[in-house]
Structure 1
């Protein structure tokens, strides 16, 4: 078993950056976070591999300034497995690739049955990877040697996987499709923050009345504030179900809150004053939340027949057409066209032409290759859905 060490000081870091700059070909990159343990999504380990340089493991909290690494490899192709998961954490460090290759996304476009890194590596190279530390707390210091080996293996073979997948893409005639998808992943804007993030509280639909919703809001905000201060995942302090139990029980005093058996979590009692103060704020607030919030969310398709029968007819004809096309292209339907896009244009269609549907899909975020594959077929389905149903001939007497 190879031994790996983590680069923590500026001298080692600059030497590693020079070695990577002198390497050849694409650069494999991966990030380990502490999701579920820490509040932030910051990187706690960055793994980089390049032929001619080997594997480098960097400790972001210790290094801080990653500009030397960006300068060394910023213009090269960066190889990821599921790039959308790692790019935000890398950007926090000032690390930004000019172009990417995503082996997970490429495997989806090629119709691989399993697209996890271990499965794709075994399929393409015949190498078995162990994945036993994927959910570990990577903020742990020092990192155990077995974790370091796991992290190194995430990038050690990734360039070889990239080369094998690139050959598959070329053989399938999907190289340009993949390039569009990679570019879209790299340039995709982050989702805007929710206006009322506290409404994500699990089970909130059980809470009735603006006053009780205000209590739920204040408890959520109090937990978020404390979680951010402590850099701990909120659910590890007090789970959602415990916050909900406190709202529904409506305790009359701090002592009554402490006596709730369903109100638990590692900070449920040590921060009791904090939670009680939040409940009081909610009860005294003059800013009561609305029970129903305006939303552009579409109703579930099962309700369309009653609420918008024309849209229901369009979706019922277009969806199997897109599914059949995805099967012919040997890729998941959601990679051919995001299902929400089809629902949107089915609910409120543009003119029933391929050009108009293509513009509408582009406005929603569809890529040119997706539009080229689907717009005409969707237009044909919509036109068919608009045709009057022929009456059955009357039975002869």
Structure 2
């Protein structure tokens, strides 16, 4: 007898909850439900400046599906309290946790179906692909890049958003079975806990250096103008809540910084200076250029940070590190293949690069493991990789100096 497959719910209409009264009623219903809760959030990346959630979807067995409009609701602390003891199922949790926490939704336990799929060696881990492979249900993803700040939200978008969470409990149950079969339950638990505990990235120093093509500017004065233009655009984008690149493209800012127009008219005549706000806000950009031309605070030609050079440059910059890195990476690839866990999940690539660039002394399994743990590696990652990395380092040392004693 063929195994029955989960059947997606029949969707007729979904009401977006945008009042406190309706929100509190939904909170009570979800609290009365059973089992883990499927959670998802939709942002408007590429359309708005903020990364806030413009729709939050929650499903729980015995309660149903609820679609929340975060801006008018505001604080979700009551819902967070009601679901405090439940496991929250998310797909690619690291993408949604920040915007959920922004409104007061902060899970104590998560199950990340995307991360678990990676640990199982599933080659394509998008939600639609994983659902189709493991549940046999085709899940259309045509609205994944939509502008979710749109109001009212079209019915087809709401159907799409609801299905994203309504299938998560069934998907989680299937993945749990596969994790048990492959003896990866503990690995997954450690990864979920690490995702939940990971701190937000610190604000980047000199964020204006993220301008695409900034390397093409070679003078400090040009960089100062680029900085002032970026800051002016960022302030304007925040005020109007529009993605900066939709106002004035990076290429336009760089063109102005490269030419250094001497007059407002020269800026207006610059063919490359185009975009939604280039002409309407010309005074804003001209004032920024004037500040950049006049400032005595000239930026360094290159940013100072602790970023390692790309591995392709190591052979010239640090040949010994290059050999260590290649040897240890090859050893880890073997384990990656055996465990059917992608290399980047077996060990964060940056951790391996940093240990290879500046190895501990002496480079044995204990010291390598300690270095990896200090960088953020999980216990299972240290157990799976530290000895192999140390062995590779010793082998490289012995190849360079056949009489070298690694214990000396």
The TM-score normalised by the length of structure 1 is 0.97
Query: Displacement of 1:315 after TM fit?
Result: 1.4
- Secondary structure (helix, strand or coil) at the match of 2:14 reads coil
Question: Of the candidates 15, 35, 42, which is equivalent to residue 5 of structure 1?
Answer: 15
CA–CA separation in structure 2 for the residues paired with 1:110 and 1:74: 28
Secondary structure of the corresponding residue to residue 149 of structure 1: helix
Structure 1 pair 286–237 and aligned structure 2 pair: CA distance change class (3 A): same
Counterpart for residue 31 of structure 1: 41
Alpha-carbon separation, structure 2, partners of 1:89 and 1:362: 28
How much does 1:247 deviate? 1.0
In the TM superposition, 1:151-166 aligns within 5 A as 151-166=161-176
CA–CA distance in structure 2, aligned partners of residues 99 and 325 of structure 1: 29
Counterpart of 1:317?
327
Residue of 362, 365, 372 corresponding to 2:376? 365
Task: Give the superposition deviation at 1:309.
Answer: 2.3
Structure 2 residue 207 is matched with structure 1 residue 180: no
| Residue 281 (structure 1) aligned with residue 291 (structure 2) | yes
Q: Distance in 2 between matches of 1:300 and 1:265?
A: 33
Following superposition, the deviation at residue 62 of structure 1 comes to 1.2
In the other structure, the counterpart of 1:338 is 348
SS at match of 2:81: helix
| Superposed CA offset, 1:125-166 (max 9, x none) | 111111111111101010000000010011011110000001
Instruction: Flag structure 2 segments of 5+ consecutive residues without an equivalent.
Output: 1-10, 403-408
Counterpart Cα distance in 2 of 1:57 and 1:390: 65
Secondary structure, counterpart of 2:41 in structure 1: strand
Q: Deviations over 1:10-61 (max 9, x none)?
A: 1111110000000000000000001111000001000000000111000001
| In the alignment, structure 1 residue 79 sits paired with structure 2 residue 84 | no
Query: In the aligned structure 2, how far is the partner of 1:388 from the partner of 1:241?
Result: 49
d(CA) in 1 for partners of 2:36, 2:134:
18
Q: CA deviation at 1:346?
A: 0.8
Secondary structure of the corresponding residue to residue 179 of structure 1: helix
Q: What pairs with 1:254-273 in structure 2 (closer than 5 Å)?
A: 254-273=264-283
**Aligned-pair CA distance for 1:389:** 4.8
Residues in 2 aligned to 1:201 and 1:321: alpha-carbon distance in whole angstroms: 37
- Offset at residue 204 of structure 1 (A): 0.7
Structure 1 residue corresponding to 2:217, chosen from 186, 191, 207: 207
**Could you tell me how far 1:178 is from its partner in structure 2?**
0.2
1:124 is displaced (CA, Å) by 1.2
CA distance in 2, matches of 1:199, 1:352: 36
SS at match of 2:287: helix
Once the 2 structures are TM-superposed, how far is the Cα of residue 306 of structure 1 from its aligned partner? Answer: 3.0
What is the SS of the residue equivalent to 1:252? coil
Q: CA RMSD in A?
A: 1.1
The 8 Å contact of residues 314 and 385 in structure 1, kept in 2 or not, is answered as: yes
Between 123-132 and 219-228, the greater mean CA deviation after superposition? 123-132
Q: Supply the distance in 2 between the matched residues of 1:88 and 1:294 (Cα, whole angstroms).
A: 28
User: Do residues 304 (structure 1) and 310 (structure 2) align?
Assistant: no
The answer to whether structure 1 residue 327 and structure 2 residue 337 are counterparts is yes
Give the Cα–Cα distance (whole angstroms) in 1 for the partners of residues 374 and 224 of structure 2: 37
Aligned to 2:152: 142
Shift of 1:390: 8.0
CA distance in 2, matches of 1:307, 1:246: 34
Task: Give CA deviations for 1:299-352 in whole Å, capped at 9, x if unaligned.
Answer: 222332333222122112111100110010001100000111111111110122
Q: Identify the residue that residue 105 of structure 1 maps to in structure 2.
A: 115
| CA deviation map 1:346-373 (0-9, x unaligned) | 1110122111000000111110000000
- For 2:143 and 2:313, the matched residues in 1 are separated by 43
Match of 1:220 among 227, 230, 238: 230
How big is the shift at 1:295?
A: 2.3
Tell me which residue corresponds to 2:4: none
**CA distance in 1: counterparts of 2:106 and 2:303, whole angstroms:** 37
User: What CA distance in whole angstroms lies between the structure 2 residues aligned with 1:390 and 1:310?
Assistant: 12
Counterpart selection for 1:375 from 368, 372, 386: 386
- 1:394 alignment counterpart: none
Partner of 1:387: helix, strand, or coil?
helix
